[in-house]
Structure 1
Amino acid sequence: MSKVLFVDACARGWEVSRTYAVAEAFMNAYRAQHPRDEIEELTLAGLGLTYFTGKELEYRDALLARGGQADDYFKLARQFAAADKIVIAAPYWDLSFPALLKVYIERVSVSGITFSPEPDGRLRGLCRGEKMLLITTSGGDFTHEDLSLYGTALSYLRGICAMFGVDGFDYLWTHGLDIVGNDPEAILRGAKKQAAAFAESW
Protein backbone atom coordinates (compact mmCIF):
# COMPACT_ATOMS: atom_id res chain seq x y z
CA MET A 1 0.00 0.00 0.00
CA SER A 2 1.32 3.42 -0.98
CA LYS A 3 0.61 6.84 0.43
CA VAL A 4 -0.26 9.27 -2.38
CA LEU A 5 -0.30 13.06 -1.99
CA PHE A 6 -2.39 14.88 -4.60
CA VAL A 7 -1.54 18.59 -4.64
CA ASP A 8 -4.16 20.75 -6.37
CA ALA A 9 -2.53 24.01 -7.48
CA CYS A 10 -5.28 24.94 -9.95
CA ALA A 11 -5.99 28.61 -9.35
CA ARG A 12 -9.40 28.67 -11.07
CA GLY A 13 -10.91 25.96 -8.88
CA TRP A 14 -11.87 22.41 -9.72
CA GLU A 15 -15.24 23.39 -11.20
CA VAL A 16 -13.73 25.15 -14.23
CA SER A 17 -10.05 24.16 -14.27
CA ARG A 18 -9.09 22.14 -17.32
CA THR A 19 -5.94 20.99 -15.57
CA TYR A 20 -7.98 19.66 -12.68
CA ALA A 21 -10.27 17.82 -15.10
CA VAL A 22 -7.30 15.90 -16.50
CA ALA A 23 -5.90 15.30 -13.02
CA GLU A 24 -9.27 14.05 -11.82
CA ALA A 25 -9.37 11.51 -14.65
CA PHE A 26 -5.91 10.34 -13.62
CA MET A 27 -6.79 10.10 -9.93
CA ASN A 28 -10.08 8.26 -10.56
CA ALA A 29 -8.27 5.68 -12.67
CA TYR A 30 -5.48 5.44 -10.13
CA ARG A 31 -7.95 4.81 -7.30
CA ALA A 32 -9.61 2.06 -9.31
CA GLN A 33 -6.24 0.44 -10.02
CA HIS A 34 -4.90 0.86 -6.47
CA PRO A 35 -7.91 0.60 -4.13
CA ARG A 36 -5.78 0.02 -1.04
CA ASP A 37 -3.58 3.09 -1.45
CA GLU A 38 -4.09 5.99 0.94
CA ILE A 39 -4.74 9.22 -0.97
CA GLU A 40 -4.58 12.69 0.56
CA GLU A 41 -5.79 15.65 -1.51
CA LEU A 42 -4.40 19.08 -0.72
CA THR A 43 -6.12 22.11 -2.27
CA LEU A 44 -3.56 24.90 -2.04
CA ALA A 45 -6.06 27.71 -2.63
CA GLY A 46 -7.80 26.82 0.62
CA LEU A 47 -4.72 26.80 2.85
CA GLY A 48 -4.12 30.53 3.15
CA LEU A 49 -0.44 30.13 2.28
CA THR A 50 1.66 33.30 2.07
CA TYR A 51 5.19 33.93 0.93
CA PHE A 52 7.89 34.15 3.59
CA THR A 53 8.73 37.49 5.17
CA GLY A 54 11.94 38.24 7.03
CA LYS A 55 10.13 38.05 10.36
CA GLU A 56 8.59 34.69 9.58
CA LEU A 57 11.90 33.29 8.39
CA GLU A 58 13.39 34.26 11.75
CA TYR A 59 10.56 32.38 13.50
CA ARG A 60 11.03 29.32 11.29
CA ASP A 61 14.80 29.26 11.75
CA ALA A 62 14.44 29.62 15.52
CA LEU A 63 12.08 26.63 15.59
CA LEU A 64 14.54 24.54 13.59
CA ALA A 65 17.48 25.64 15.74
CA ARG A 66 15.82 24.14 18.80
CA GLY A 67 14.86 20.93 17.01
CA GLY A 68 11.24 21.85 16.41
CA GLN A 69 10.66 19.78 13.27
CA ALA A 70 7.69 18.10 14.98
CA ASP A 71 5.96 21.47 15.48
CA ASP A 72 2.60 21.92 13.76
CA TYR A 73 4.20 24.74 11.76
CA PHE A 74 5.96 22.11 9.65
CA LYS A 75 3.01 19.74 9.11
CA LEU A 76 2.95 20.32 5.34
CA ALA A 77 6.62 19.39 5.08
CA ARG A 78 6.10 16.22 7.12
CA GLN A 79 3.10 15.29 4.96
CA PHE A 80 5.17 15.76 1.80
CA ALA A 81 8.12 13.79 3.18
CA ALA A 82 5.87 10.87 4.16
CA ALA A 83 4.29 10.45 0.72
CA ASP A 84 5.34 7.56 -1.50
CA LYS A 85 3.97 9.27 -4.61
CA ILE A 86 3.21 12.94 -5.29
CA VAL A 87 0.79 14.12 -7.98
CA ILE A 88 0.73 17.86 -8.73
CA ALA A 89 -2.01 19.46 -10.82
CA ALA A 90 -0.94 22.94 -11.95
CA PRO A 91 -1.72 24.89 -15.13
CA TYR A 92 1.05 26.17 -17.38
CA TRP A 93 1.41 29.87 -16.60
CA ASP A 94 4.15 32.17 -17.89
CA LEU A 95 6.57 29.33 -18.69
CA SER A 96 5.98 27.76 -15.28
CA PHE A 97 3.01 27.40 -12.91
CA PRO A 98 0.95 29.57 -10.51
CA ALA A 99 2.97 31.30 -7.79
CA LEU A 100 0.98 29.49 -5.11
CA LEU A 101 2.74 26.24 -5.98
CA LYS A 102 6.13 27.89 -5.52
CA VAL A 103 4.98 29.21 -2.13
CA TYR A 104 3.92 25.68 -1.17
CA ILE A 105 7.27 24.22 -2.21
CA GLU A 106 9.05 26.85 -0.13
CA ARG A 107 6.88 25.79 2.82
CA VAL A 108 7.76 22.11 2.46
CA SER A 109 11.45 22.77 1.88
CA VAL A 110 12.55 22.26 5.47
CA SER A 111 15.98 21.19 6.66
CA GLY A 112 15.69 18.03 8.72
CA ILE A 113 12.36 17.02 7.17
CA THR A 114 12.53 17.00 3.37
CA PHE A 115 16.29 17.43 2.97
CA SER A 116 19.48 17.63 4.99
CA PRO A 117 22.59 19.73 4.28
CA GLU A 118 25.73 17.59 4.38
CA PRO A 119 29.14 18.67 5.74
CA ASP A 120 30.55 18.85 2.20
CA GLY A 121 27.86 21.35 1.20
CA ARG A 122 25.71 18.95 -0.77
CA LEU A 123 22.06 18.26 -0.01
CA ARG A 124 20.70 14.84 0.90
CA GLY A 125 17.03 14.13 0.31
CA LEU A 126 14.99 12.80 3.22
CA CYS A 127 11.67 12.14 1.49
CA ARG A 128 10.43 8.59 1.07
CA GLY A 129 8.86 9.45 -2.31
CA GLU A 130 9.28 7.04 -5.19
CA LYS A 131 8.10 9.50 -7.84
CA MET A 132 6.35 12.74 -8.68
CA LEU A 133 3.90 13.45 -11.49
CA LEU A 134 3.06 16.91 -12.82
CA ILE A 135 -0.24 17.25 -14.69
CA THR A 136 -0.47 20.51 -16.61
CA THR A 137 -2.38 22.12 -19.49
CA SER A 138 -1.62 25.06 -21.75
CA GLY A 139 -3.51 27.24 -24.19
CA GLY A 140 -0.58 27.23 -26.61
CA ASP A 141 1.22 24.33 -28.21
CA PHE A 142 4.81 23.91 -27.01
CA THR A 143 5.42 20.40 -28.32
CA HIS A 144 8.06 21.62 -30.79
CA GLU A 145 9.68 24.22 -28.55
CA ASP A 146 12.94 24.03 -26.66
CA LEU A 147 11.82 22.81 -23.24
CA SER A 148 14.97 24.19 -21.62
CA LEU A 149 13.35 27.57 -22.32
CA TYR A 150 9.62 26.83 -22.35
CA GLY A 151 9.52 23.95 -19.88
CA THR A 152 11.03 25.57 -16.81
CA ALA A 153 8.36 23.99 -14.60
CA LEU A 154 9.69 20.58 -15.60
CA SER A 155 13.34 21.34 -14.88
CA TYR A 156 12.45 23.05 -11.60
CA LEU A 157 10.39 20.14 -10.30
CA ARG A 158 13.03 17.64 -11.44
CA GLY A 159 15.52 19.61 -9.36
CA ILE A 160 13.18 19.60 -6.37
CA CYS A 161 12.86 15.82 -6.69
CA ALA A 162 16.65 15.48 -6.69
CA MET A 163 16.98 17.79 -3.70
CA PHE A 164 14.29 16.02 -1.68
CA GLY A 165 15.28 12.47 -2.62
CA VAL A 166 12.22 11.68 -4.75
CA ASP A 167 13.46 9.08 -7.19
CA GLY A 168 11.49 9.74 -10.38
CA PHE A 169 9.67 12.52 -12.22
CA ASP A 170 6.97 12.24 -14.91
CA TYR A 171 4.63 14.72 -16.52
CA LEU A 172 1.44 14.83 -18.57
CA TRP A 173 1.12 18.05 -20.57
CA THR A 174 -1.98 18.86 -22.60
CA HIS A 175 -1.25 21.45 -25.30
CA GLY A 176 -3.22 23.72 -27.60
CA LEU A 177 -6.45 24.30 -25.70
CA ASP A 178 -6.80 27.96 -26.73
CA ILE A 179 -5.59 27.84 -30.33
CA VAL A 180 -8.22 29.15 -32.76
CA GLY A 181 -9.53 26.28 -34.84
CA ASN A 182 -8.75 23.61 -32.26
CA ASP A 183 -11.52 21.71 -30.50
CA PRO A 184 -10.70 22.10 -26.80
CA GLU A 185 -13.36 19.63 -25.70
CA ALA A 186 -11.97 16.96 -28.00
CA ILE A 187 -8.43 17.70 -26.80
CA LEU A 188 -9.57 17.37 -23.19
CA ARG A 189 -11.34 14.10 -23.88
CA GLY A 190 -8.16 12.72 -25.37
CA ALA A 191 -6.08 14.04 -22.47
CA LYS A 192 -8.39 12.40 -19.93
CA LYS A 193 -8.12 9.06 -21.71
CA GLN A 194 -4.34 9.37 -21.84
CA ALA A 195 -4.21 10.27 -18.14
CA ALA A 196 -6.43 7.34 -17.17
CA ALA A 197 -4.29 4.95 -19.20
CA PHE A 198 -1.09 6.33 -17.67
CA ALA A 199 -2.53 5.84 -14.17
CA GLU A 200 -2.80 2.10 -14.71
CA SER A 201 0.96 1.64 -14.75
CA TRP A 202 2.11 4.57 -12.59
Structure 2
Amino acid sequence: MILFINACVREESRTEVLAKALLSKLGDFEEVKLEDIDFPKTDEAFLKKRDSLIASRNFDDQMFTLAKQFARAETIVIAAPYWDLSFPAVLKQYIEHINVLGITFEYTPEGIPKGLCKASKLYYVMTAGGTYVPEEFGFGYIKSLAENFYGIKDIELIKATGLDIYGADEKAILKEAVDRL
Protein backbone atom coordinates (compact mmCIF):
# COMPACT_ATOMS: atom_id res chain seq x y z
CA MET A 1 0.00 0.00 0.00
CA ILE A 2 1.20 3.50 -0.88
CA LEU A 3 0.40 6.05 1.83
CA PHE A 4 0.15 9.71 0.82
CA ILE A 5 0.50 12.09 3.75
CA ASN A 6 -0.72 15.43 2.45
CA ALA A 7 0.31 18.47 4.51
CA CYS A 8 -0.69 20.91 1.75
CA VAL A 9 -3.43 23.37 2.59
CA ARG A 10 -3.63 25.70 -0.39
CA GLU A 11 -6.18 24.90 -3.07
CA GLU A 12 -3.57 25.45 -5.80
CA SER A 13 -0.67 23.87 -3.86
CA ARG A 14 2.46 23.52 -5.95
CA THR A 15 3.74 20.88 -3.55
CA GLU A 16 0.59 18.86 -4.08
CA VAL A 17 0.95 19.18 -7.87
CA LEU A 18 4.47 17.75 -7.62
CA ALA A 19 3.35 14.99 -5.23
CA LYS A 20 0.41 13.98 -7.44
CA ALA A 21 2.78 13.73 -10.43
CA LEU A 22 4.93 11.32 -8.41
CA LEU A 23 1.88 9.38 -7.22
CA SER A 24 0.67 8.99 -10.82
CA LYS A 25 3.89 7.06 -11.49
CA LEU A 26 3.68 4.99 -8.30
CA GLY A 27 0.07 3.79 -8.59
CA ASP A 28 -2.95 3.63 -6.31
CA PHE A 29 -2.60 5.27 -2.94
CA GLU A 30 -4.37 5.93 0.32
CA GLU A 31 -4.43 9.63 1.27
CA VAL A 32 -4.27 11.20 4.71
CA LYS A 33 -5.16 14.88 4.26
CA LEU A 34 -3.81 16.40 7.44
CA GLU A 35 -5.90 19.57 7.31
CA ASP A 36 -9.02 17.38 7.68
CA ILE A 37 -7.85 15.79 10.92
CA ASP A 38 -8.91 17.32 14.20
CA PHE A 39 -5.93 16.29 16.30
CA PRO A 40 -6.71 16.08 20.02
CA LYS A 41 -4.98 18.45 22.36
CA THR A 42 -1.78 16.88 23.68
CA ASP A 43 -2.36 17.64 27.34
CA GLU A 44 -1.59 15.65 30.48
CA ALA A 45 -4.85 13.68 30.33
CA PHE A 46 -4.18 12.66 26.72
CA LEU A 47 -0.61 11.61 27.53
CA LYS A 48 -1.67 9.60 30.60
CA LYS A 49 -4.25 7.70 28.56
CA ARG A 50 -1.81 7.12 25.71
CA ASP A 51 1.02 6.00 28.02
CA SER A 52 -1.31 3.63 29.86
CA LEU A 53 -2.54 2.04 26.63
CA ILE A 54 1.01 1.70 25.29
CA ALA A 55 2.21 0.16 28.57
CA SER A 56 -0.54 -2.44 28.37
CA ARG A 57 0.08 -2.87 24.60
CA ASN A 58 -3.58 -2.12 23.98
CA PHE A 59 -3.51 -0.54 20.54
CA ASP A 60 -7.24 -0.86 19.80
CA ASP A 61 -8.00 2.76 20.71
CA GLN A 62 -8.72 5.11 17.80
CA MET A 63 -5.73 7.27 18.79
CA PHE A 64 -3.47 4.59 17.25
CA THR A 65 -5.22 4.36 13.86
CA LEU A 66 -2.78 6.69 12.07
CA ALA A 67 0.28 4.94 13.56
CA LYS A 68 -0.99 1.51 12.49
CA GLN A 69 -1.74 2.80 8.99
CA PHE A 70 1.76 4.32 8.74
CA ALA A 71 3.42 1.12 9.98
CA ARG A 72 1.52 -0.99 7.38
CA ALA A 73 2.42 1.19 4.38
CA GLU A 74 4.89 -0.23 1.87
CA THR A 75 5.75 3.15 0.36
CA ILE A 76 5.20 6.57 1.94
CA VAL A 77 4.89 9.92 0.18
CA ILE A 78 4.90 13.03 2.36
CA ALA A 79 3.96 16.29 0.65
CA ALA A 80 4.82 19.34 2.73
CA PRO A 81 5.50 22.88 1.54
CA TYR A 82 8.61 24.54 2.94
CA TRP A 83 7.43 27.03 5.56
CA ASP A 84 9.58 28.95 8.02
CA LEU A 85 12.61 26.65 7.60
CA SER A 86 10.46 23.57 8.11
CA PHE A 87 6.97 22.36 7.24
CA PRO A 88 3.38 23.12 8.33
CA ALA A 89 2.74 22.49 12.04
CA VAL A 90 0.05 19.94 11.23
CA LEU A 91 2.77 17.57 9.99
CA LYS A 92 4.46 17.76 13.40
CA GLN A 93 1.12 16.94 15.03
CA TYR A 94 0.80 13.93 12.74
CA ILE A 95 4.31 12.77 13.61
CA GLU A 96 3.50 13.02 17.32
CA HIS A 97 0.54 10.71 16.73
CA ILE A 98 2.39 8.10 14.67
CA ASN A 99 5.49 7.91 16.84
CA VAL A 100 4.13 5.08 18.97
CA LEU A 101 6.29 2.67 20.89
CA GLY A 102 5.18 -0.82 19.91
CA ILE A 103 3.65 0.21 16.56
CA THR A 104 6.14 2.27 14.54
CA PHE A 105 9.23 1.60 16.65
CA GLU A 106 10.57 -0.16 19.71
CA TYR A 107 13.75 0.14 21.76
CA THR A 108 16.55 -2.38 21.82
CA PRO A 109 17.85 -3.50 25.23
CA GLU A 110 20.57 -0.85 24.74
CA GLY A 111 17.93 1.89 24.39
CA ILE A 112 18.37 2.40 20.67
CA PRO A 113 15.21 2.89 18.58
CA LYS A 114 14.46 0.08 16.12
CA GLY A 115 11.93 0.55 13.32
CA LEU A 116 8.80 -1.57 13.05
CA CYS A 117 7.47 -0.04 9.83
CA LYS A 118 6.98 -2.10 6.69
CA ALA A 119 7.89 0.70 4.23
CA SER A 120 11.05 0.33 2.24
CA LYS A 121 10.83 3.80 0.62
CA LEU A 122 9.80 7.27 1.76
CA TYR A 123 9.51 10.21 -0.62
CA TYR A 124 9.53 13.70 0.83
CA VAL A 125 8.04 16.19 -1.63
CA MET A 126 8.40 19.91 -1.06
CA THR A 127 8.35 23.23 -2.86
CA ALA A 128 9.67 26.59 -1.75
CA GLY A 129 9.23 30.13 -2.95
CA GLY A 130 12.87 30.99 -2.32
CA THR A 131 16.19 29.25 -2.72
CA TYR A 132 17.37 29.30 0.90
CA VAL A 133 16.23 25.81 1.78
CA PRO A 134 18.59 24.14 4.26
CA GLU A 135 17.70 20.46 4.21
CA GLU A 136 18.50 19.75 7.86
CA PHE A 137 15.31 21.32 9.19
CA GLY A 138 12.22 20.05 7.32
CA PHE A 139 13.54 17.18 5.22
CA GLY A 140 16.38 16.37 7.61
CA TYR A 141 13.99 15.92 10.52
CA ILE A 142 11.76 13.53 8.54
CA LYS A 143 14.79 11.66 7.18
CA SER A 144 16.22 11.20 10.67
CA LEU A 145 12.90 9.86 12.01
CA ALA A 146 12.49 7.53 9.03
CA GLU A 147 15.98 6.09 9.31
CA ASN A 148 16.38 6.00 13.08
CA PHE A 149 12.88 5.36 14.40
CA TYR A 150 10.85 3.77 11.61
CA GLY A 151 13.53 1.63 9.95
CA ILE A 152 13.04 3.17 6.49
CA LYS A 153 16.44 3.47 4.86
CA ASP A 154 15.55 4.64 1.34
CA ILE A 155 14.49 8.28 1.65
CA GLU A 156 14.29 10.56 -1.37
CA LEU A 157 13.83 14.32 -1.47
CA ILE A 158 11.87 15.65 -4.41
CA LYS A 159 11.77 19.43 -4.58
CA ALA A 160 11.18 22.53 -6.63
CA THR A 161 12.59 25.78 -5.25
CA GLY A 162 12.81 29.42 -6.26
CA LEU A 163 9.19 29.50 -7.35
CA ASP A 164 8.44 33.00 -6.01
CA ILE A 165 11.62 34.79 -7.03
CA TYR A 166 10.91 37.83 -9.18
CA GLY A 167 11.14 36.80 -12.83
CA ALA A 168 11.13 33.05 -12.12
CA ASP A 169 9.14 30.87 -14.50
CA GLU A 170 7.12 28.96 -11.89
CA LYS A 171 5.53 26.60 -14.42
CA ALA A 172 8.90 25.74 -16.00
CA ILE A 173 10.47 25.08 -12.59
CA LEU A 174 7.62 22.75 -11.64
CA LYS A 175 7.72 21.02 -15.02
CA GLU A 176 11.46 20.44 -14.66
CA ALA A 177 10.88 18.88 -11.22
CA VAL A 178 8.12 16.64 -12.61
CA ASP A 179 10.33 15.63 -15.54
CA ARG A 180 13.02 14.46 -13.09
CA LEU A 181 10.61 11.95 -11.51
TM over 0.5: yes
Give, in angstroms, the shift of residue 54 of structure 1. Answer: 1.7
Match in the other structure for 1:137? 127
Residue 41 of structure 1, CA deviation: 0.9
**What SS class does the counterpart of residue 47 from structure 2 fall into?**
helix
TM-score when normalising by structure 2: 0.93
Q: Where do 5+ consecutive residues of structure 1 fail to align?
A: 32-37
Deviations 1:140-194 (A, max 9, x none): 013xx7x3xx541122111111211112110111010100011112212222222
**Deviation of residue 130 (structure 1)?**
0.1
The secondary structure found in structure 2 opposite 1:26 is helix
Q: How does 1:38-187 map to 2 (within 5 A)?
A: 39-142=29-132, 147=134, 151-162=136-147, 163-187=149-173
Partner SS, residue 177 of structure 1: coil
1:192 aligns with 2:163: no
Partner of 1:8: 6
Q: Match of 1:131, as an amino acid?
A: K
Q: Distance in 2 between matches of 1:189 and 1:9?
A: 21
3-state SS of 1:111 partner: coil
Q: Post-superposition shift, 1:50?
A: 4.1
Identical amino acids, percent of aligned pairs: 40
**8 Å CA contact retained: 2:7, 2:90:** yes
Instruction: Look up the equivalent residue of 1:10 and give its one-letter code.
Output: C
Q: Deviations over 1:61-102 (max 9, x none)?
A: 111122212332201000000011100000001111001001
Which amino acid letter does the alignment assign opposite residue 184 of structure 1?
E
Paired residues of 2:129 and 2:164 also in contact (CA < 8 A) = yes
Runs of 4+ off more than 3 Å? none
| Residues 107 and 140 of structure 1: CA distance in aligned 2, closer, same or farther (over 3 Å) | same
Structure 2 unaligned residues grouped into runs of 5+: none
8 A contact 1:115–1:164 mirrored in 2: yes
Query: How far apart, CA to CA, are the structure 2 residues paired with 1:30 and 1:122?
Result: 33
Partner of 2:26: 30
Normalization by structure 1: what TM-score? 0.84
| CA-CA distance at 1:11 after TM superposition | 2.2
1-structure distance, mates of 2:97, 2:71:
12
Give the Cα–Cα distance (whole angstroms) in 2 for the partners of residues 4 and 151 of structure 1.
Answer: 25
Q: How many residues align?
A: 180
Q: How far apart in 1 are the matches of 2:110 and 2:75?
A: 29
Identify the structure with bigger relative contact order (alpha carbons < 8 Å, sequence gap 6+).
1
